[in-house]
Amino acid sequence: MAKFRPRILHHGRTLVTSPVPTSPPATQAPNPFAHARFLLSAAKLTQLPQDHLAEVAFVGRSNAGKSSALNLICQQKQLARVSKTPGRTQLINLFDLPVTAAAATEAAPQASIRARLVDLPGYGFAQVPLEIRRNWGLLVGGFVEQRINLRGLVVVMDIRHPMTDLDLQMLGWCEARGLPTHILLTKADKLGHGAGKNVLLKVRKELRELDPAMTVQTFSAHTQMGAEMVREVLTAWLEAPASGDQPV
Ligand code: GDP
């Protein structure tokens, strides 16, 4: 496995996401993620489905708000369990986005996407034994490096503590793989509008140095700020034709 460090590469890959949309759609589109349902938990990469279905994965520091974000994106209260023992959840959780009856209606073609959402185990708890941290590195590092199904990665960060060393290392992995990467600055309701915008601009500036293709937005699971925006990013990734990208 490649070293878990940020690398700055400018390898001219295709940017799948255009700059993040800034205004919500005039009419509320059907939510293609609302039909997500739990598929399986995997403790090892070999337990993951071996097919070519597109996947997007969510990752972030424990307690950053990843489960809450997934629940809001999918408009379900208990999809990803919000209350967990920090750092102990060492499983990759997969959620299926099935083709539903809604997909059959021509009036709402985007109501269904055949794909999977992946909830990767969180990182960053000091109390977690070394053995578990090592295991996390193998599991998540291996997934990000090798999973051919992966179309993009959402990195969840608490807006009050963004771009920690571990976040940067995570972004380094995404960058090394050449994966579309979108950052959610969660809990934006905890900051005032001006302060939140300042963090957004600062992170955007840092990303320009690290990898200009990466995108970032503010988000709040409590106020639903940014929910539609992240759904649009995910939809664009999942609907884009596979690039033929091979694992590094
Ligand atoms: P995870 O460990 O990254 O999955 O984080 P959780 O989704 O379990 O959230 C951790 C804590 O942060 C919980 O107490 C949530 O209620 C809280 N939380 C999550 N998202 C938000 C948010 O957008 N705003 C606020 N104020 N709290 C949030």
Render pLDDT for 86-137 as a digit per residue (tens, 0 to 9).
Answer: 544 688 999 999 765 444 455 455 556 789 999 999 988 777 788 888 888 9
pTM: 0.84
Structure tokens at 193: 């509008």
The whole-number pLDDT of residue 147 equals 97
- Residue 78: per-residue pLDDT: 83
Any ligand 1 atom below 6 A from CB of 231: no
Alpha-carbon torsion, ordered 197, 198, 204, 208, to 10 deg = 150
Residue 115: closest CA among 246, 245, 231, 239: 239
What pLDDT is stored for residue 3 in this prediction?
43
What is the distance in A from the centroid of ligand 1 to the CA of 72? 11
Q: Which residues of the chain have pLDDT under 70?
A: 1-29, 82-89, 99-112, 243-248
What is the 244 CA–ligand 1 centroid distance (Å)? 35
- Written as six digits, the tokens of 190 are 């905890």
Q: Which atom of ligand 1 is nearest to the CA of 68?
A: 7
State the closest ligand 1 atom to the C-alpha of 61, by its place in the atom list counted from 1. Answer: 3
pLDDT of residue 26: 52
In the chain, the amino acid numbered 117 is L
Question: Would you report the helix, strand and coil content of the chain in percent, each value rounded to 5?
Answer: 35, 20, 50
Burial class, 90, CB count within 10 angstroms (exposed 0-12 / middle 13-18 / buried 19+): middle
| pLDDT for the residue 128 | 77
Q: Which atom of ligand 1 is nearest to the CA of 64?
A: 3
For position 7, what pLDDT does the model report?
A: 36
Tell me which residue has its CA closest to atom 27 in ligand 1. 187
Domain residue ranges in the chain = 34-238
Question: How many other CB atoms are there within 10 angstroms of residue 35's CB atom?
Answer: 22
Query: Strand 55-60 and strand 115-119: pairing?
Result: parallel
Instruction: Give me the CATH topology for the region 34-238.
Output: Rossmann fold (3.40.50)
